[in-house]
Structure 1
Amino acid sequence: MEIIGRITADATVSETKAGKKVVNFSIAINDTYKTKGSTEVQKFTTYVNCSYWINPGVSAYLTKGTLVECYGRIGANAWTNKEGEVKASLTFHVNTIKLHGRSTGGNTASAPVVPMNTAPAAVSEVAEDLPF
């Protein structure tokens, strides 16, 4: 699955009891639609909580306003709170992050696309398969 959006706050790094580090961040995805029979455009934003377990060093690049493209899978979490109510949430478990630029307050300069998890062998296999 792929999602593209802007980071809502600087990423944080947490450590599990076993010593494994995880980078947590949230992405805002803006979308629009028109209701049937209307010409008025409706705008809405979806917020997605993300976790990245591969390289905690990437957190320095995941700052508020940065446009990112993330590949991964969705995981579901369920628990019962202190009042006995059942709660649930979804988390996007990121495998690959590509940075597309930082929010610079109107400056159009952007950061280069930086894949954080690539497989060079797979790229060469595809190149040999091209028909031209």
Structure 2
Amino acid sequence: MATVFETRLIGNLGKDATVRKIDRGVVAINFPVAHNKNWRDKKTGESRTKTTWVNCTIWKKEGSNMRILDFLKSGALVEVVGTPYAKAFQQDDGSIKTEIRLNIARTNILRSSKSASNISDDNYNENEESESNTDMYGGLDGFTLNEDDF
């Protein structure tokens, strides 16, 4: 029986994607995605937010089409699907830090960042009918990039 170990995350990029060359003709595209959990404190009534950062990696062959980099800009709203793993390492002060990482199999750009397009949330009106491709997150330009596309 086949098994599936996959995680789906929707969040915003914390910074532009970076490219790192690895041995044997492999390239790693790295970018952090933030997931925010919002709630109201029952005791104080204050709004609270906890941000979890997930470091994402897309693995590619060197010389492959890299157009994904045009869209993985700071602030972009993305959905990423892939295999999760944790990495522990020792910091300079001797403490141990663990981070969540995700090897990406599929990337959906739900809303481009303002630096990647001229589209702004301020220009979007939910009540207007538009011929543009809108998504359930209020963003524009929603499309899917699979591993074969880049």
TM-score by structure 1 length? Answer: 0.72
Is 1:97 the counterpart of 2:107? The answer is yes
Letter in 1 for 2:17: A
Matches within 5 A, 1:1-132: 1-54=7-60, 57=66, 58-79=68-89, 87-104=97-114, 106-108=122-124, 110-117=139-146
Q: In structure 2, what is the Cα distance between the partners aligned to 1:51 and 1:118?
A: 12
Counterpart residue number, 1:124: none
Q: Quote how far apart the aligned CAs of 1:76 are.
A: 2.2
- Assess if the C-alpha contact under 8 Å between 1:23 and 1:56 holds in 2: no
For 2:24 and 2:83, the matched residues in 1 are separated by 23
Provide Cα deviations, 1:41-75, integer angstroms capped at 9, x if missing partner: 21222211111114661122101111000111211
Question: Which residue in the other structure is 1:122 paired with?
Answer: none
Give the Å deviation of 1:87.
4.8
In 2: Cα distance, 1:46 partner to 1:6 partner: 11
Q: Distance in 2 between matches of 1:75 and 1:56?
A: 26
Give the CA RMSD over aligned residues. 2.8
The answer to which of 87-96 and 66-75 deviates more is 87-96
Whole-angstrom distance in 2 between the partners of 1:78 and 1:89 = 6
- Specify the SS of the correspondent of 1:103: coil
Deviations 1:12-51 (A, max 9, x none): 1111011201110011112212334553221222211111
The aligned residue for residue 129 of structure 1 is: none
Separation of aligned partners in 1, 2:51 and 2:91: 27
Aligned residues: 119
CA contact (8 A) 1:78 1:86 kept: yes
